Amino acid sequence: MQPIRLLGDPVLRTKCRSVKVAGSPTGQQTIEDLRDTLSDFRSRKGFGRGIAAPQIGVSERIIFVDFEYSGPLINPKILARSKGMFELWDDCFSFPDLLVRVRRHTGIEVVFLDAEGKRQRLQARGALSELLQHEIDHIDGILALDRAISPRHIILRSELGRFEGLHRKER
């Protein structure tokens, strides 16, 4: 388990390097750290479906998800994106008290290496698609804050109920 890097840490803004050997001891340790850190965060905070290596201070293209698909994605690359989009309140381990309203593609196709270094292809829709887009953004140095629909769509988690009420009145 590793500490979560928080907003402001330069590693979160770094485009990560590709992993050369997927089954290397270093890569395996990063995968274990990601899995353990995700599990710990989820047990303490009550939420969490995925994590990216920069969030534990590692500038490598590795993410770990545990939602619909469970396991590491090494050097993931989005091959295709649906034309359809949807909006949601996004959250992040690196700024756990904030919510950010973003638009994401309803579906994506991703190619990646698994823990054994075998090439895999994954079609993701809905919530899994959103999660993978969020985590892949992390390894490209992009945060959900950068994807905010507008500056007023960044709020404190504790204010969501009040904001949603105001938002409905504006429509």
Residue 58's domain spans which residues? 10-170
In a domain, 4, yes or no: no
Note the pLDDT of residue 24: 67
In a domain, 1, yes or no: no
Helix ranges, the chain (H): 25-45, 126-139, 160-170
Of 93 and 27, the structure prediction assigns the larger pLDDT to 93
How many distinct structural domains can be found in the chain? Answer: 1
Catalytic residue numbers read 135
List the CATH number of the domain containing 127: 3.90.45.10
In a domain, 118, yes or no: yes
In a domain, 36, yes or no: yes
Looking at every residue in the chain, the average pLDDT score rounds to 90
| Whole-prediction pTM | 0.89
| Range ranked top by mean pLDDT from 3-12, 40-49, 154-163 | 3-12
Nearest 5°: CA angle at 49, between 37 and 15?
Answer: 70
> In terms of Cα–Cα distance, which of 3, 12, 11, 2 is closest to 145?
12
Six-digit token pair at 14?
A: 């770094």
Question: What average pLDDT does the segment 57-66 reach?
Answer: 96
In a domain, 86, yes or no: yes
In a domain, 144, yes or no: yes
In a domain, 67, yes or no: yes
In a domain, 56, yes or no: yes
